[in-house]
Amino acid sequence: MQRVVIVGSGCAGLTAAIYTARANLEPLVLVGADQGGQLSLTTDVENYPGFPDGVMGPEVMENFEQQAKRFGARLEYETVVEAELKAGGPQRLTFDSGREIEAEALIIATGARPRWLGLESEEKLKNKGVSACATCDGALYRDVPVAVVGGGDTAIEEALFLTRFAAKVSVIHRRDQLRASKILQDRALNNEKIDMCWDSVVDEILDLEKDEVTGVVLRNVKTGQKRTLDCSAVFVAIGHTPNTEAFKGQVDLDESGYVLMPQAERSFTSVDGVFVAGDCADHIYRQAVTAAGMGCRAAIDCERWLAARE
């Protein structure tokens, strides 16, 4: 039986670990398949407070981990595949190794993963011009053309944000009309920096030989005709998938799989004694700093919940 178990080792999970460890709760952090979360896959991080000259994503996450360990957090390289949760606990977790553990209190901080196009060139050019976060990387592409793939609210919000930096923003959408809200559509269609590429999909991202993004090969889904669009970056904005499969049916999720928080501004879930933090519950901001803040909140809620039971 563990006092506190934290599932996830990104900004939310390790911040929760720092706070619960400093409260002498000896948290056990289950690292999972994606050690360090999304930030560990990012190169230059320029918008995390405290680093005026920017910092490498893996370096930030290494610092998070060392800080958590310093206060007594324990890390195990296990991945949760099944959970049995009940009000008041204990919470039972099963790992992919078949091992089981129980916890008095549980913090879910499993994050979310971006949906990608599934292209080989996309995979090889990630962090070399291919990104899933305009807020994170947009400022790196000043006065050059960029492309955004998608047609929903997120894609159009990213496109509008990118107009602050880029010389031109091409929105690539497989349909002939956007799915975004009317107000966002109006803003995009009336923005002189935004160019719409209708009925189009990305067949390939160029250029693997140069090891950087120089453009994309577009295919018209109606005519089959292909053309090359010059750009210095591609922002894929076709949605995210929360890493909550192990908790389906055990805690309330929304239709997209994000963990629901019944009380505004609190980290409580539908199960008493189970808390949530980070991108697995946040489909709006999805930033490292907001995830860290949610981790702090979950840790404090968890600490007070345990104290009230003593």
Catalytic residues: 133, 136-137
Nearest Cα neighbor of 251 from 282, 279, 293, 280 is 280
Answer yes or no: are the C-beta atoms of 188 and 160 closer than 8 Å. Answer: yes
CA distance 298 to 294: 6
Answer yes or no: are the C-beta atoms of 237 and 137 closer than 8 Å. Answer: no
Hey, what amino acid is at 246?
A: A
